[in-house]
Amino acid sequence: METMNSPENQKRAEDFERKIAEHDAAQAVEKAYIAKKYNPREACKRSSEIRTVHDETLGEVRFGVLSISEFTDLKLNEIKDENARIRKVVHAMLRKADPELKLADVEAIPFDEFTILDGILGEALPGFLRLAKQALKTGSQPTQTPKSSG
């Protein structure tokens, strides 16, 4: 029994535990790297999901992410008024969770509540709304220039 607790065995056990920890850390890094890879099929699934955000003022807010085709169908470049464009995007996102919702319903929302709603959607989808705002500023549909990987 004493040989099991010998300094040599203690050192081997510590080395073995260190190697296990290093291996686990390396696997965690690899998993994190794999998780960061963009998967277009997974992204496509997101455009059919309904998201729910709880706000202390508005309560439960349900909305959907717009696909590229849904965003293009909004034809924001044909709308001159920036606020009307924002209302149209917000309406389209809310309508995915409530298909009966009309643009007139969104336009009837009190301004203070609409401001909160716009903020919620902006926080939930910062990348999307950044591109939407780009389209609003330029009057054209959003595009991104591909970056060379060299």
What pLDDT is attached to residue 129? 56
Query: What pLDDT is attached to residue 48?
Result: 87
Query: pLDDT, tens digit, for every residue of 84-141?
Result: 988 999 999 999 999 999 999 999 999 999 999 988 887 766 565 555 566 555 554 4
Identify the pLDDT of residue 145: 41
The pLDDT of residue 56: 92
> How confident is the model over 40-77, as pLDDT tens digits?
888 888 888 899 999 999 999 999 988 889 989 999 88
pTM equals 0.61
> Who has greater pLDDT, 148 or 123?
123
Nearest to 128 by CA among 54, 65, 62, 49: 65
Inform me whether the pLDDT recorded for 148 exceeds 60: no
Q: What is the pLDDT of residue 88?
A: 93
Burial (CB count within 10 angstroms: exposed 0-12, middle 13-18, buried 19+), residue 34: exposed
pLDDT at 74: 93
Q: How far is CA 91 from CA 15, 53, 57, in A?
A: 60, 16, 19
Q: Running DSSP on this structure, what letter comes out for residue 78?
A: G
pLDDT of 23 over the 80 cut? no
pLDDT confidence band for 149 (50 / 70 / 90): very low
